Amino acid sequence: MVLRTIRPDCYSVAALDFERRLFDSLIPLPDGTSYNAYVIRGTEKTALIDTVDPSKELELVSDLVRLSLHSIDYVIINHAEQDHAGTLPMVLELFPSCIVVTNEKCKDLLLRHFDLDQDRFIIIKDRETLSLGNKTLEFIIAPNVHWPETMLTYLREDRILFSCDLFGTHYATSDLFVTDEKIITSAAKRYYAEIMMPFRFSIREHMKKLRALEIDIIAPSHGPVFNHPALILEAYEDWISDSVKNEVVIPYVSMHGSTRMMVDYLTRALIERGITVKPFDMTVTDTGNLAMSLVDAATVVIATPTVLYGPHPQIVYVTYLADLLHPKVKFASIIGSYGWGGRTADILKAMMTHIKPELLEPVLVQGLPCEASNRGLERLADDIARKHKEAGLIPS
């Protein structure tokens, strides 16, 4: 869409997608997104780093034509997912002598996703380099930073890290570089929560490699470019750590008002004990906002009515999704109302297979909340406050 210069002979050929509102038929995109590709011109060779989503391939072709590129010698594929590699077949058709540079796992996935000539590949290993003449590309294989074949590309002479999905933001902006740090940090946290959080242990290990590099610019595959990389690097160091905050997240659904009354009561009780509370009505909540809240929370309390014999289907979905995201929550509990019986608590407990928090005694009531259930909620608030104090989250 817009051809822009990052450094001399290093260009962004990003495709902006302002209107897209859903990614992978799952992730809300309130601010759209971008698909970032980059061109590096060396004195001897030219490389394209990643491509764009197939829906934007004409925009990529337009930018390449405007660069007056007579040839592209290499196309570096950091990640095989379609929003980054989907235009690869077109690029290879447009530049018949172009060679794909990637790692073995990525090649295998590319051949499974696209109709490609397997002889048009150069396979690299971790920390191998590729010379473009006066510019050198170094490859950092980073498995399970989103997908098992993901790698990063580092331009040594310009100290630019092309980080693929790592450090990205689903944020469509006309600015090449980050201009509003507050907005981008929030967008980056949302992106991390929805996409990267399940892989925080892998990211933690790969961050050790990155600390050894001199990085002036981080150019991700989504969102603006970070020309002050400390902003995103420091944010990630916090997000991937084991530290949590004095916060309780309460995702809930209420059919006839009883569960909502319990949520309101527990919210007040926790606030009185000096705890930050974030309730989310899951019939109207953007799941991305819930995911963001889970990045820092010490405790999650799942609140649900009983449908037939188990939790509300929306809460089943939320619990499954939260468990997949694998946040670093330390404690969890369940509250809710039921009509005549069921196994709500047992079903929800069994779904927490990844996060494995310490489970605090649930509070379930038949019908409307009563004095006994309110005492149970007070007890739960006390239990949460005590656990938070023991964890050093509340001053003694």
Is the same domain home to 217 and 299? no
Domain assignment present for residue 396? The answer is no
pTM over 0.85: yes
The pLDDT value given to residue 396 = 74
| Residue 342 confidence (pLDDT) | 87
Asked whether residue 231 falls in the same domain as residue 305, the answer is no
3-state secondary structure of 245: strand
Q: Are residues 54 and 29 in the same domain?
A: yes
Q: Which of 187, 214, 239 is the last residue of a domain?
A: 239
What's the chain's average pLDDT?
A: 96
Residues 28-82 pLDDT 10s: 999 999 999 999 999 999 999 999 999 999 999 999 988 988 899 999 999 999 9
Quick one: 256 and 131 in the same domain? Answer: no
Give the bridge partners for 153, in sequence order.
139, 162
Per-residue pLDDT at 345: 95
Together in a domain, 144 and 38: yes
**Domain identity same for 206 and 157:** yes
The CATH number for 251's domain is 3.40.50.360
Beta bridge pairs of residue 306: 311
In a domain, 146, yes or no: yes
Q: Which domain holds residue 338?
A: 245-388
Q: Please determine, for residue 304, whether its predicted confidence score (pLDDT) is greater than 90.
A: yes
Question: Do residues 211 and 291 share a domain?
Answer: no
State the pLDDT at residue 1: 59
Domain count, the chain: 2
More confident residue, 159 or 395: 159
43 and 178 both lie in a single domain: yes
Report pLDDT for 352: 94
Give the tens place of pLDDT for each residue, 191-246. Answer: 999 999 999 999 999 999 999 999 999 999 999 999 999 999 999 999 999 999 99
Beta carbons of 322 and 355 less than 8 angstroms apart: yes
For range 269-283, the mean pLDDT: 98
Which residues 6+ apart lie within 8 Å of 44 measured at CB? 131, 132, 133, 134
* Same domain, yes or no: 112 and 148: yes
Sign of the C-alpha dihedral computed for residues 253, 254, 258 and 260 taken in this order = positive
The answer on 290 and 213 residing in a single domain is: no
Instruction: Give kind and range of the element (H or E) at residue 102.
Output: strand 99-102
What pLDDT is stored for residue 319 in this prediction? 97
Mean pLDDT, range 341-348, rounded to an integer: 93
Q: Are residues 317 and 231 in the same domain?
A: no
* Residue 275 and residue 156 in one domain: no
